[in-house]
Structure 1
Amino acid sequence: MSDSIPGATQGATQGTTPLTIVIVGHVDHGKSTLVGRLIHDTGSMPDGKLEAIKAMSEKRGMPFEWAFLLDAFQAERDQGITIDTTQIQFKTAKRPYLIIDAPGHKEFLKNMITGAAAASAALLVIDAVDGVQEQSRRHGYLLHLLGIRQVAVVVNKMDMAGYGEARFRAVEGEIRRYLGSIGVTPSHVVPVSAREGDNIVDRSAAMPWYQGPTVTQALDLCAMPPEAVELPLRLPVQDVYKFDQRRIIAGRIESGTLKVGDTLLFSPSNKTARVASIEAWGAGAPVRQIEAGKSVGITLDEQIFVERGQIVSHVDSAPFESNVFRARIFWLGHAPLARGKQYKMKLATGEFPVEVQQVETVIDVADLAAGQTSQVERNGVAEIVLRSRSVLAVDEFTGNPRTGRFVLVESYDIVGGGIISMQGYPDQRAQRTVVSTNIHEVESRVSMEDRWLKNHHKSGVIWLTGLSGAGKTTLALALEHELHRRGYQVYVLDGDNIRHGLSADLGFSPDDRAENIRRVGEVSKLFAQAGTIVVTAFISPYRADRDHVREIAGDLFHEIHVKADVATCESRDPKGLYKKARAGQIKDFTGISAPYEEPEAAELVIDTSTQSIDQSIALLLDYVGARFTIDTKQAAKG
């Protein structure tokens, strides 16, 4: 084995904890043969195993195959396919490995999903002659769906392709382009011949043009997943007990370390307190520190309300808070999962009602075909959006698997399991946290009602929301012009103008978008309290952000949905943004790579894909006339 690859260590095995890997790929691309070679060439095969398999093959009149080292079932040898996930260990000079050989045949893909879900890294096997097949792409997508980010590609059967560099580069380019399109960057793409042992453990003399790592070296370069104790503190509250005048908060530490004196944050209530003591039954001495995997009882230095399901963390490493998030699920229910259906979500020790807001992509495990549909059938895998009635404390699965997974329950039966992703959605904690202290609101001596009487109309916030290109700014400016002509006090707040000043320090990440909308909401409220009709033109893609502005402005808030589908907006593309987003030049672009959540109960909906500007303005003027007119005579009598 070459010593030129960093991380591919020689000598005695360094680690004792195995790295779990899954091997996936199109049927007949040589996965089992690769595994057999890995076991044999690393010296991990039990004594006599190879001879026994060769003898069995000779007895049955079958040519010896390296795959027989792995295919443990009689049916598999007869049929020549792997029908179940098989776990087997091997080791390199760096550490031991646990291989999950997952079947690629379409009849056994459920087993593949089960196996892949437990892996920390993956090998995707592609036949050099056949190239990237549709199932190869689907397996790559499935790895993305399961949150596996450490992926090495093995281009097998290079002997059948004449060990040609040109053929390898063609296959390498194709798979890199595809994996890149779904957000997966392969660590290495290795040309091998599993049958001949080329580039498995030892470098191949038949491919001198390849200077990258062998398969085992590529695996040795994969990072071990962090131990539970290395992750941020997560203590889901199991229960609260009263004992000897003490209130003991009990639960199991899922990750991290907890010490006496630590300041703890309880999410989603956002209350804090310090650990006064760690209660350990039967301990001979006071416990000062306890780690992940242990059940614990703690007392606090002050009495705060704590209940089952809350997540305990340190203040500087808190979980996300959100009432909406993406989920990648495996569906087990007899009835299909469908948009609008409600389920009970069990997350750590908590149980919460959730609704399926959207079904984004469905993978049929019968053949791994991807499709757009509004429901997920039994044994389907899907990417969906879930919305809860209240704000939850959640972790992304990729950040903390122990608190980033959940199950869905319907009528006391578990009907699905999934992992959490916050991709495209902001952390709502910042919107719910007040940092300023010793601040007191100052009330004007001129009431808002007096300003209305002077202006001869009510004030408020007309909040235009919709996709880029829907026509929000066009309508806002036209409405402002017409209302001003009619004598109204009116002003437009537009997204581009705000970002030149008030929000010049913000980008377009989900968190920055949320903060931008919060700032605009606060400014709009002040304008409206000063007697002005404020017309805003902001995409404001998140329902939670718009609801937050509604809380800020109260009855002054009027949500207007300027509706147009993505295709219509993209055909207009007044600023050329959709073209840039499609080219990957703009990240988190609403409607393309980031979500837009339509209002559920807007005060007015204007469909600009079917209505002209004049028709739309007429609707807005009618709305203003109905909602902002005051009876000055009646007001004077009052």
Structure 2
Amino acid sequence: MNIAVVGHVDHGKSTIVGRLLADTGTLPDGKLEQVRATCARNAKPFEYAFLIDALKEEQGQGITIDSARVFFKTPRRPYIIIDAPGHLEFLKNMITGAARAEAALLVVDAREGVQENTRRHGRLLPLLGVRHVAVLVNKIDLVDYSRAAFCALEHELREFLGGYGVTIEACIPVSGREGTNLAARAPETPWYAGPTVVEFLDALEEEPAPVEKPFRMPVQGVYKFTAQGDDRRIVAGGVASGRLRVGDEVLFYPSGKRSRVKTLEGFNVDPRAEAGAGEAAGFTLTDQIYVQRGEVACRADEERPSVAARIRVSLFWLGTQPLVRGRQYRLKLGTASVGMELEAVEQLVDASELGERDTADAVQRHEVAECVLRLERPLAVDAEIGIAATGRFVIVDEWEIRGGGIVREALPDPQAAVRERVLVRNAKWEPSGIPFERRVERYAQLPAMVLITGPRDADRKSLARALEARLFEEGRLVYFLGIGNLLYGVDADLERTGVHRHEHLRRLGEVANLMLDAGMLLVVTAAELTPDELDLVGTAVEPGRIHTVWLGGRGPNDLASDLVVDDSDLGGEQVERICRLLEERGVVGR
């Protein structure tokens, strides 16, 4: 069991851990004497914290900089104690240390009382998935073992943390220096009848093993072999939870594609029939479906994750620049990485204060907030079942991690109903017997849609036909899909009015998906496409296969195009620019 020790700087966390190791006989033979001798040679008073603070800078300054991990064992079970730094400047290190803990000991100095990082660390613990929390009122000897001082701190912290749904399961008066109530009950606190620290830890019920939870494996990569007659296509990743066996039916989210496990693969290991949580695994499928990094493999007979492009989250922010609306960030969850925008700050807490603000446009450094995030494409998330790979995320800005948090709820978005249809479609899809890679090899191209849009008076059709002709002359398998082909064909049952535009685009996406599955390059035109309408098409078609070209002057439309071209030389220069875009993205070879 992983236990994090957190709290404000200089409140005695490292001393408690060091004394705990010494009093339980966990230290290697001679270690305590060695540290005492080192202190004597350097004319420094001995401190139990020196057993933990191995960095030279830490011994010099008397603070913990990095998160130290030490092993600790009782007759009940083994532990890993994570001594997390308490200084504000090392908050990121504390988060790193506590993120995998099942329980936390929140240390508070009996003399100084509740301080800034006492509150901040306590507020962050539930965001890090910590399930059990105990408060250690340390240095109780320096207040003459005062019951009144202890009770006042206990009341203050229970009231504060209870407001955020954190239940303090025990509040223990301790002295790290004297060993009070750590491994043995102390006569100096006859008024305290609760457990010692060791008794509290040993009484905790362990979290169900990850292998007992629903199967989740974020796809790390898909590897295709061709040498010496080996034609395996292996889906690989780390199993975050659950177990998978040969013959199990698997679904991939957010795409909803379905197949069955044919073989379980591993590097330089004997064939096996099962893979479980904590293992790196690979498997082949009975059907040649196309999946990619960022999807999550799940078993069809277990609870499915939610698929959402809007999520409600609890997050903490560490960036020097605030998290603001209107700016693009990247959210990483499992192996997926998607663009993200802050849609709303629903509640904001400065964790060093007791107050809350429910009107805010930004999240400042070291603040905690309940927010709604809008993603550029849907992700598979789990909000309630405690799987870190699909429930915890980090936010990246300018190539650095600036914040993180947990998913609280998957929220509806304009394409949610269409997405559910697509999930059913993909689950029922009859895949071709010709593998994706063989089509790519035969046609020397990746399937892609060039979607040309722009003002209604722009000559999109001329540009589309010129592009089709150019690609065809180069030997590409390409087709111009005019909107009229749909309006008077698969859309013949719909009136040509604006009220049906949504359904026209949905059906366009479905027809395009069939042609892309056949390996084609598709050129499509649509007038004044909006961001929501592009999302609609991208719900039926894998978004990475859509390359958007805006033709004509930019107007009020805020569509994020891959390329903007003008209406000059539509048969030459502008076609050349689109072809270069397709080459740069690896759709066609040079």
Q: TM-score range by the shorter chain?
A: 0.5 to 0.7
Question: Per the alignment, do residues 409 and 317 of structure 1 end up closer, same or farther by CA in structure 2, a change over 3 Å counting?
Answer: same
Task: Please point out which of 317, 321, 331 is paired with 1:345.
Answer: 331
Q: 2:68 aligns with which of 65, 73, 86?
A: 86
CA distance in 1, matches of 2:502, 2:170: 50
Quick one: distance in 2 between partners of 1:235 and 1:72? 37
Q: In the alignment, what sits opposite 1:128?
A: 110
SS in 2 for 1:170: helix
SS of corresponding position for 1:34: helix
From 156, 160, 165, the counterpart of 2:142: 160
Q: Give, in angstroms, the shift of residue 155 of structure 1.
A: 1.1
Matches within 5 A, 1:10-89: 19-89=1-71
- Residues 348 and 113 (structure 1), Cα distance of their counterparts in 2 relative to 1, 3 Å cut: closer
Listed as ranges, the matches of 1:371-386 within 5 Å are 374-375=361-362, 384-386=371-373
- Indicate the RMSD between aligned Cα atoms, in angstroms: 4.0
For the 8 Å contact 1:329–1:416, the answer to whether it is kept is no
Instruction: Tell me the distance in 1 between the aligned counterparts of 2:45 and 2:304.
Output: 58
In 1, distance between residues paired with 2:44 and 2:270?
65
- Map of 1:404 onto structure 2: 391
Distance 1:424 1:191 in 2: 41
Q: Which residue of structure 2 lines up, in the alignment, with residue 151 of structure 1?
A: 133
1:108 maps to 2:90 = yes
Q: TM-score, structure 2 length as denominator?
A: 0.61
| Counterpart Cα distance in 2 of 1:347 and 1:186 | 30
Q: Deviations over 1:209-245 (max 9, x none)?
A: 3222110111223344544433321133433758789
Could you report, residue by residue, the CA deviation over 1:22-44 in whole angstroms, capped at 9, with x for unpaired residues?
A: 21112232212211211110111
| Counterpart Cα distance in 2 of 1:31 and 1:220 | 19
Residue type at the aligned position of 1:394:
V
Aligned to 1:326: 312
CA 1:26–1:354 in 2, change beyond 3 Å: closer, same or farther?
Answer: closer
Match among 99, 106, 109 for residue 81 of structure 2:
99
List alignment gaps of at least 5 residues for structure 2. 425-500, 506-530, 533-590
1:235 aligns with 2:220: no
Query: Is the 2:2–2:101 contact (alpha carbons within 8 Å) kept by the matching residues of 1?
Result: yes
* CA-to-aligned-CA distance 1:340-368 (integer Å, 9 cap, x gap): 22234343343433222134567889999
In structure 1, the residue corresponding to 2:129 is in which secondary structure?
coil
CA distance in 2, matches of 1:425, 1:148: 24
CA contact (8 A) 1:407 1:414 kept: no
Q: 1:422 to 1:364 in 2, by over 3 A?
A: closer
Q: Is 1:206 the counterpart of 2:171 in the alignment?
A: no
Identical amino acids, percent of aligned pairs: 47
Residue 305 of structure 2 aligns with an amino acid whose one-letter code is P
For residues 354-407 of structure 1, the C-alpha deviation after alignment (integer angstroms, 9 at most, x for no partner) is: 222134567889999998754456787765432124432112487111333344
The aligned amino acid for 1:72 is A
1:254 is the counterpart of 2:239: yes
Aligned length: 422
- Amino acid across the alignment from 1:102: A
The residue identity in structure 1 corresponding to 2:199 is Q
> In the TM superposition, what is the alpha-carbon distance from 1:194 to its structure 2 partner?
2.0
Match of 1:313 in 2: 298
SS in 2 for 1:421: strand
Moved more, 394-403 or 182-191: 394-403
Equivalent in the alignment of 2:151: 169
Q: State the partner residue of 1:635.
A: none
SS of 1:235 mapped into structure 2: strand
Q: State the alpha-carbon separation in 2 of the partners of residues 159 and 245 from structure 1.
A: 71
Distance 2:353 2:54 in 1: 24
Contact 2:262–2:283 under 8 Å retained in 1: no
* Structure 2 CA distance for aligned equivalents of residues 331 and 190 of structure 1: 31
Gaps of 5+ in 1: 1-18, 437-549, 555-599, 602-638
Deviates more, 1:133-142 or 1:234-243: 234-243
- C-alpha separation in 1, matches of 2:344 and 2:382: 20
> Does the C-alpha gap of structure 1 residues 165 and 322 become closer, same or farther in structure 2, counting only changes over 3 Å?
same
- Asked if 1:297 corresponds to 2:279, the answer is no
| Cα pair distance change 1:67/1:289, threshold 3 Å | closer
Shift of 1:97: 2.3
Distance 1:378 1:206, change over 3 A: closer
Deviation at 1:196, TM superposition (A): 1.7
Take 1:366 and 1:72, find their aligned partners in 2: how far apart are those partners?
29
Output the CA distance in 2 between the equivalents of 1:375 and 1:426.
23
Q: Is the 8 A contact 2:108 2:138 kept in 1?
A: yes
What is the letter of the counterpart of residue 355 of structure 1? E
Task: Give yes or no for the alignment of 1:394 onto 2:408.
Answer: no
Q: CA offset at residue 185 of structure 1? A: 0.9
Structure 2 CA distance for partners of 1:431 and 1:174, relative to 1, 3 Å: farther
